[in-house]
Amino acid sequence: MYPSTEPAIRHRRRGAALVFAAVMLAASVPLAPSAAPRVEPFDAEVWSRLKSTLPRPAVVVFTTSYCATCPEVFEGLGAEIRTRRPGAPLVAVVLDGESLGRRPREAHLARADRLFVFRGQQEAALRHAIDPSWRGVTPWVALIGADGAVTFGGGTPTRDRLETWARGEGMR
C-alpha cells in the first residue's frame, strides 16, 4: 500500500542517490595527486618532435633524480614563466627515468606541464643528441623561443636570456 511503501521508496531513492553520488565522486576525484602530469617516454626522437610541436615559447628542464639543486631552479623558472610569459609550458625531462615511479615523488616534477622520462641505456648519447656541449650539468635548461630557436644553459638562465625569451624575440 502506498502509505506503507512510501518510506521504503524514499529510502531506495536516497540509496540510489548515494550510489550515484559515489559513482560521480569516484569517477571525478583522482586517487593520486591530480596535478601530477602523465609520465611520457623520452629519447632523441621525442626531443626532435617536441621542439617543433610544443607551444612556443616553452621551457624544457633536463634533470635527474639525484640533482639537489634542481627543485629550486625548477620552482624559480615556474615563477618566472608565470610572471613573464603566463601559459608558456614548463616541461621536465628526467634522465634517470628508471628510478621514477608512475608518479613523481618530487613535488616540483608534479608541477610540470609535461613530464618525460628517459629510460634508455646511453645517457651520454642522449645528451649529445640534445646538445653536444652538455657535459652532464643539471638542471640543463632549454629555452625554446617563439621562433623555434633553442638555447641551452645550466641552472637558472640569466635575466637577459629570460627577458629575450619572454619577449618572444628571435633567439638565434
- Write the DSSP assignment of 86-119 as a string of letters: TT--EEEEES-GGG--SS-SSHHHHT-SEEEE--
- x/- letters, 11..50, toward other proteins (CB under 8 A): xx-xxx-xx-xxx-xxx--xxx-----xxxxxx-------
Query: 62 — phi, psi (to 5°)?
Result: -90, 130
Cβ 60 to other proteins shortest distance, Å? 15
Quote the cell numbers at residue 110: 608534479
Site string for other proteins, 52-91 (x = CB under 8 A): ------------xxxxxxx-xx------------------
Q: How far is the CB of 157 from other proteins (least distance, A)?
A: 10
Residue 112 or 146 having the CB closest to other proteins: 112
Nearest-approach distance from CB 56 to other proteins, in angstroms: 24
How many angstroms separate the CA atoms of 16 and 76, rounded?
49
Q: Is 151 in the site for other proteins (CB under 8 A)?
A: no
| Cβ contacts of 16 within 8 Å, gap of 6 or more | none
Q: Residues 118, 144, 165, 171: which binds other proteins (CB under 8 A)?
A: 118
| H/E element, 166 | helix 159-167
First to last CA, the chain: 83
Name the minimum Å distance from CB 106 to other proteins.
5
